[in-house]
Amino acid sequence: MDVREIPVETLNPSSFIAEKTAEIAAAVGDGLAINALSGGVDSSVVTLLAHRALGPKLKTYFIDNGLMREGEPQQVLALFRSLGVPVELVDAQAAFFAALKGRSDPERKRQAITDTFYKTVFGRLVRETGARHLLHGTIYTDVEETVAGIKRQHNILAQLGIDTREAYGYTVIEPLLQLRKPAVRAVARALGLPEEICNRPPFPGPALTARVIGEANRRRIRLVRQATTIVERHLAGRAFQCMAILHADKVTGIRDGKRAFGHQIEVRCWDTQDAVTAAPTRLPLETLEALADELTRQVPGVVSVTYNITRKPPSTMEAV
Ligand code: XMP
């Protein structure tokens, strides 16, 4: 990998901001650039850097892929509008669910998300707007894991030998490529982003698809979304990241005194510094029991809740 990392210890956030803003302005010139905001710290930083560099020559979109957490699109839009950054909502749910239909292999699901995002949705936006550049929040760790062959992060293109100009008709600009998460958070603070963004726990690019084992259709995404709301309500703030995973296999349970063949939810909660290695958080059993009670009561069809006790490696943090 020929990208040179800038470690957080040597990063000067204000010089980084000045340098990247100038680079973005020079690369885009008189043209128009577009970017997708998800509300995570990486895409938020890119949005603000590019907004500073380009002003009205930047068009920022929130792509509603139907795979986000409860209320997420509305919250992200409201926050950026309050910061004076115009963001347009694009409803692309149908395109994503069509691409995910019938796919249960993890890498094929990731491929479907990548293709839908870059080819179908952004291809159309590029054609409609005439933009020649796409700004992207890829960070150092995304490249590292993809190149190492651990899993394909949905946003890695050039490093996999994909020529975006040829394949999709636009050039990708990746201002955060040399940074890991702590450095991105330092830049976010220097840009004056609110703490809820600077400290936002990571959320995967493929969104809730990464937490559905097997086919990620509307019904199964809805289930894992409901479970995620409950898990985050109980555990957020206690660890680096917490999540609910919907298993493909059903198991036998009991409801109203009768056999119920129902869903299994796996809860994962991680302690880690850098997400490269991680350990399950040592949660009190009472916390886990309360969580299991609520998940089985509130999420339709759930009859089993498990807690992952495996470290990364050999586990990864997300299940897919
Ligand atoms: P893994 O599952 O690779 O996750 O141990 C490490 C961290 O990266 C976050 N993350 C992603 N994970 N696909 C992933 O599988 C993605 O596109 C992605 N983007 C971010 C993940 O949530 C965990 O914090």
Nearest-atom number in ligand 1 for the CA of 320 is 15
User: Which of left, alpha, beta for 129 (phi over 0: left; psi -120 to 50: alpha)?
Assistant: alpha
Distance 317 CA to ligand 1 centre (A): 7
Burial pattern 269-281, b for ≥16 Cβ within 10 A else e, equals bbebeebeebebb
- The span from the CA of 56 to the CA of 62, in Å, is 17
Residue 170: the pLDDT is 84
> Which residues make Cβ contacts (< 8 Å) with residue 62, sequence separation at least 6?
36, 37, 38, 39, 73, 76, 77, 87, 88, 89, 90
Contact 191/17 with Cβ under 8 angstroms?
Answer: yes
Residue 127: the pLDDT is 86
Residue 153: the pLDDT is 62
Residue 154: the pLDDT is 56
pLDDT block averages, 10 residues each, the chain of length 320:
89 98 97 95 97 97 97 95 95 98 96 92 89 93 75 62 74 94 96 94 93 98 98 96 97 96 98 93 98 98 98 96
Distance 206 CA to ligand 1 centre (A): 9
Nearest-atom number in ligand 1 for the CA of 241 is 24
Distance 138 CA to ligand 1 centre (A): 12
Nearest-atom number in ligand 1 for the CA of 319 is 2
Q: Any idea which residue has 């669910």 for tokens? A: 97
Adjacent-strand bridge partners of 261: 252
Ligand 1, atom 9, residue with closest C-alpha:
204
Distance 29 CA to ligand 1 centre (A): 33
Nearest-atom number in ligand 1 for the CA of 40 is 20
Distance 241 CA to ligand 1 centre (A): 10
How wide is the angle at C-alpha 164 spanned by C-alphas 162 and 168, nearest 5°? 120
Pocket of ligand 1 (CB under 6 A): 145, 151, 153-154, 202, 204-206, 210, 241, 275, 312, 316-318
Contact 210/319 with Cβ under 8 angstroms?
Answer: yes
Contact 29/61 with Cβ under 8 angstroms?
Answer: no
Residue 279: the pLDDT is 98
- The span from the CA of 73 to the CA of 195, in Å, is 18
Residue 158: the pLDDT is 64
